[in-house]
Structure 1
Amino acid sequence: MQTVRWGILGAANFARHHMAPAIHEAEGAELAALATSNPANAAPFAAFAPGLRVHDSYDALLADPGIDAVYIPLPNHLHLEWTLKALAAGKHVLTEKPIALKAEEIDQIIAARDASGLLAAEAYMIVHHPQWQRAREWVQSGEIGTLRHADAAFSFDNGADSGNIRNRPETAGGGIRDIGVYTYGSVRFVTAAEPEDLQARIRWENGVDVWAQVTGTFAGPLGQFTYGAMTSMRLFPRQEVVFQGDKGLIRVAPGPFNAGIFGEARVELHRPGLSVTVERFPAVRQYKLQVEAFGRSVREGVPYACPLEFSRGTQVMIDRVFAVATAI
């Protein structure tokens, strides 16, 4: 098996605790290099990845001929720039969500991907997790009858951390860009539907959205259904997605997005007569699955579960939410 040699731009905490270990442990992947201007920041990565090469700049890592793919966990406002630079340097690239800040920016990445023949994708890990694949299978096979409504919630409280990039407008922070990609994109993934009409209310603090409520209707192969979503960076932690039909209900909770970290990864199918089927996935690591899926696409040309076209659809929805929102 050809090994995909990975480099990481920046020593972000998320990369250190989640994606770097996933790359190191994934089949067919090697964590080969890290770019950071502070050598001390590289020590935790080198501790589990012996032989790690440390570059003192992002450009130096992109020039490294021993790197096949780059993972980008930089602040949101830097994603587009460095994704395009990675492709121009001849590297496959996996960039944290949101991969861009506007749908038309993703068009730029699609054009660069197509011109280069390389794989570029957003690190939208949930589509690789079997709990979401099962939810999609159940919904699309009619296990809950006709889908009538979907609702999603994702909240946490980082109000005390004013320096957090999510709380800073200059780094393109805010709850919708950080977690709206989950409450919006997960419903799109499961139902293959797109929003028809949307209404939104947003609460702003210091130029970033800290609470948002979105309602509307979706339409697609399963017909039309109503939709509601809540995201917040100022509420007690909660994660839940529900798909409700006329003959049953599917609940993905309590850890639909941070599976195994926020809560147990499981999906529930509720049907008449108090029948409940629960599937649990305690040992599944979605970041590792993401790396392995990316590697198969690079090596074998296997279609990637989250192509840029899917990410663009979620960004279109985000753009619409901001456009129609009323401030409260």
Structure 2
Amino acid sequence: MAAIRWGILGAAKFAREQMGPAINAARDTQLVALATSDPAKAAPFQAIAPGLRVFDSYEALLADPEIDAVYVPLPNTLHVEWTRKAMEAGKHVLTEKPIAMRADEIDGLIALRDRTGLVAAEAYMIVHHPQWHQVRDWLQTGAIGDLRRVSATFTYDNSSDPDNIRNAVETGGGSLPDIGVYTLGCARFVTGQEPSDILFADIRRENGVEVRAEAVAQFDGFTLTSLTSMRMLRYQSVTFQGTEGVVEVPVPFNPLGYGDAEVRLMRKSGPVEVFRYPGVNQYVLQVEAFGAAVRGEAPYPCSLEFSRGTQAFIDMIWAAER
């Protein structure tokens, strides 16, 4: 099959800095088009993808028959609409997280995916990184005995950027939609379990936007404590504590940007096991996995059903607060 030809809806900063270069660098893919109403914003994309076609509307890009797949990095509240429109235009679509603002909004996307046979997924990149496959292997083979507690933290401070879409209710802002998908979804990914109850939820808001969320969730045999914030020092870490050992993930979500990826396994006896992953780019791996799914070579590792489960988890936290 020929290289998969990608278009991007909108010249978002994240698309410019991460996903555009990743699409361009991935095997058997080409970045061929961008939709933006501001031609000046196209220049950085054209620098990495000479010959890039620039459309002045999202609809015009979706109408181009020479585009196979679309990446959607729009504000959160537009994700469902443009994921649906991309599929209706016959395009495979990879949409930034969160793909929806409520779990039930994903049901229609699942039905449309099944009806069209297209690949549609949330850009949940961590499941493509080998460090998370190693953690899942350790936990599911009993390397730390019975899992008893997970602690997941992801914080940063964007208080100096009040115009950021994450700081606005109307664009689906808040730390849980932005980064709670990671602290909550990573535990679901490595354990294969779903939460049964929310034991505690503390939500802090500014101007109606949730800027900090701390929650404790009950799973079968273990609890998960999640802290996300847009008003604290930049920090991330996940720890899995069991009856026989501990797994630490010091840079769980943004390796290369935040630090070097590595995972550590500590047990009652024996040396600490450490696996390091220098230079691994999870965004490139994500694009390549998407391409493999489009070509029918392998199932996509992050299904819409998985994404629905994480959003349902977020919905449970909102409900517990109320």
Partner of 1:261: 257
Residue 44 of structure 2: aligned partner: 44
Q: Does 1:239 align with 2:236?
A: yes
C-alpha distance in 1 between matches for 2:112 and 2:297: 18
The amino acid that maps onto 2:290 is F
**1:5-28 Cα shifts (integer Å, max 9, x gaps):** 000000001000000000001001
**SS in structure 1 at match of 2:295:** helix
Superposition RMSD on alpha carbons, in Å? 0.9
Which shows bigger deviation, 89-98 or 195-204?
195-204
Aligned to 2:309: 313
Give 1:281-296 correspondences, 5 Å limit. 281-296=277-292
TM-score, normalising length: structure 1? 0.96
Q: Secondary structure at the match of 1:103?
A: coil
1: CA distance between counterparts of 2:18 and 2:172? 22
* Aligned positions of 1:164-243 closer than 5 A: 164-198=164-198, 199-219=200-220, 224-243=221-240
> How do 1:69-88 residues align onto structure 2 when only pairs under 5 Å count?
69-88=69-88
255-264 vs 17-26, which moves further: 255-264
Residue 57 of structure 2 is aligned to residue 92 of structure 1: no
* SS in structure 2 of the partner of residue 6 of structure 1: strand
Checking the alignment, whether the CA contact within 8 Å between 1:132 and 1:190 is kept in structure 2 is: yes
Structure 1 outlier segments of 4+, above 6 Å: none
- Mapped partners of 1:137, 1:216: distance in 2: 23
In structure 2, give the amino acid aligned to 1:299: R
Shift of 1:299: 0.5
The aligned counterpart of 2:59 is 59
Question: How far, CA to CA, are the matches of 1:69 and 1:10 in structure 2?
Answer: 14
Q: What is the CA-CA distance between 1:301 and the residue it aligns to?
A: 4.5
Shift of 1:151: 1.1
Amino acid aligned to 1:8: I
Counterpart for residue 23 of structure 2? 23
Identity of counterpart residues, as a percentage? 60
In the TM superposition, residue 273 of structure 1 has moved relative to its aligned partner by 3.5
Post-superposition offset of 1:216: 2.4
AA of the residue aligned to 1:317: F
TM-score between both structures, scaled by the size of structure 2:
0.98
User: Cα deviations across residues 14-65 of structure 1 (Å, max 9, x unaligned)?
Assistant: 0000000000010011001000011110000000101100000000000011
User: Which amino acid is 2:258 matched to?
Assistant: F
Q: Secondary structure, in 3 states, of the residue corresponding to 2:219?
A: strand
Deviations 1:65-102 (Å, cap 9, x if unpaired)? 11000000000010010000000000000000000111
- Give unpaired runs (5+ residues) of structure 1: none
CA distance in 2, matches of 1:251, 1:206: 36
Q: State the shift of 1:276 in Å.
A: 1.0
Mapped to 1, the partners of 2:318 and 2:231 lie a distance apart of 19
AA partner of residue 304 (structure 1): Y
**Structure 1 Cα separation of the partners of residues 31 and 118 of structure 2:** 19
Q: Distance in 2 between matches of 1:275 and 1:145?
A: 17
Write the letter of the residue equivalent to 1:163.
D
Does structure 1 residue 298 correspond to structure 2 residue 299? Answer: no
Question: CA–CA distance in 1 between the matches of 2:223 and 2:7?
Answer: 42
CA distance in 1: counterparts of 2:69 and 2:139, whole angstroms? 35
Consecutive unaligned residues in structure 2, runs of 5 or more = none
1:211 is aligned with what amino acid?
R
Deviation at 1:275, TM superposition (A): 2.6
